[in-house]
Structure formats: structure tokens, C-alpha cells
Amino acid sequence: MQEILKYFDEFSDKQLQQYSALAALYKEWNEKINVISRKDIDSIYLHHVLHSLSIAAITSFQPGQEIIDIGCGGGFPGIPLAIFFPEVRFHLVDSIAKKLTVVNAVCESAGITNVTTQHTRVEQIKDRKFDYAISRAVAPLKDLWQWSKPLLKKSTPHTSEDILANGLICLKGGDLHEEISASLTRPTLYSIYDIFPEPYFKEKFIVYVKK
């Protein structure tokens, strides 16, 4: 928890309780269904929760908005962001049902009520639109953009520079030049190490593609 509180301090008691509950819940569920690397489970707040919250450091989702988490796995970045933005609706999608079992159980136990889940491949979703698509290390940017673009609502103008226009926001690492070139997009890159100067975040980036 200290890794989060080092950078964020305006949480309600309920949010603090929810974040505090995550470590024990994921350790318990990871014994049954492996959704987090064994070597990472003891670093869940730095490697998973704070990593997810880097998105909250660059933009503010607005009450009533809808976010789709593509290939959510065990619930990152969706669950930490759902706690951070309790008035925003998060739809977590994965093609592997047992991962969603973990997501649903964690949300129920931690009292997270603004998360829904769907067992499907994202390209099969045809009847919904979202303000943003988020994702972490799921697929190449070219695929993520191809999947998310049809699901994104048109942007409405924002008066604040702290709010990104509708689009795809994904967490990626390493040398991204070839991946970006292949995607035929012109994304904005944010260095997570510049936001959270922890050694773990060197060479990790937020990639944002505007709708």
C-alpha cells in the first residue's frame, strides 16, 4: 500500500479499504487460478496496482463515463482504476473465463460495484460504445487500435487540459518504435518512470491514441 500512498493521498476510507484488500484477495485466488506471476504477487502494489494507476496520473475519467478494459486478465488496469474512479463504469473483457472468475470474486469481496465483466473476444462486441478503451500488455498496438476504434464514442470537447479526448490508453514496455510504425497510428507516449520514478517503471510507457 505504501507504494500507492507515496503518490496519491486523496482517498476516501472506502477506497483505502478496497486497495488494502487487494493483496490478500489476489494471493488467495492466485493459489487457485494463476493470474499473476508467482514472483510478482509480493509486489502487487508496485507492479500491478500503481502501474495501473499511472493512467489516473495523466487523465481524469468523468462520472458516468464507460471504459472497456480489453483482455483484462486478472483485472489490471481495470480494478485499480475502478476503485480510483467510483463514479465511472468499467467493463472488463477477456476470452478466458477463469480469469473473469477472479475479477468477479475480487470485486465482490472488496465491494467494488462499478465493474461488469464479459467473457468474449473484444472484436465480437458489436452493440456497445465506450468513452475509452484501456489495456495492459495484451496485444500489439495495431490490433488494439483495430479492436477498440469501432467501440469508441466520438469525443466531446473538454474544458480541462487534464482530460484526454476519447481514445485508446494502453500500458506497454520496451522499444515501441516498430510496433507504433506497424500500427499506422500517431500516439502520444508518456514515460511512467517520469510519473513514478521507481526503477521498475524504466522503459514502461502509457500509449495514447486519440479517437
Domains and CATH numbers, the chain: 2-210 (3.40.50.150)
75 conformational bin, left if phi > 0, alpha if psi -120 to 50, beta if neither: left
pLDDT < 50 positions in the chain: none
Q: Is 123 annotated as a binding residue?
A: yes
Q: Which of 41, 45, 43, 36 is nearest to 1 (CA)?
A: 45
Q: Is 136 annotated as a binding residue?
A: yes
Q: Please tell me whether residue 38 adopts helix, strand or coil conformation.
A: coil
- The HSE-up count of residue 183 (CA atoms within 13 Å, CB side) is 23
CA angle 57, 188, 152 (to 5 degrees): 85
Eight-state DSSP code of residue 197 = -
Distance between CA atoms of 162 and 61, rounded to whole angstroms? Answer: 10
Query: Cβ-count burial of 105 within 10 angstroms (0-12 exposed, 13-18 middle, 19+ buried)?
Result: middle
Q: Is 11 annotated as a binding residue?
A: no
What cell does 179 get?
510496433
Contact 7, 192 (CB under 8 A): no
Q: Is 122 annotated as a binding residue?
A: yes
Torsion angle of C-alpha atoms 182, 121, 191, 106, degrees rounded to 10: -170
Distance between CA atoms of 130 and 118, rounded to whole angstroms? Answer: 14
Distance between CA atoms of 39 and 33, rounded to whole angstroms? Answer: 15
With cell 508518456, the residue in question is 190
Number of H helices, E strands in the chain: 9, 7
Give the pLDDT of residue 112: 98
Query: Cβ-count burial of 197 within 10 angstroms (0-12 exposed, 13-18 middle, 19+ buried)?
Result: exposed
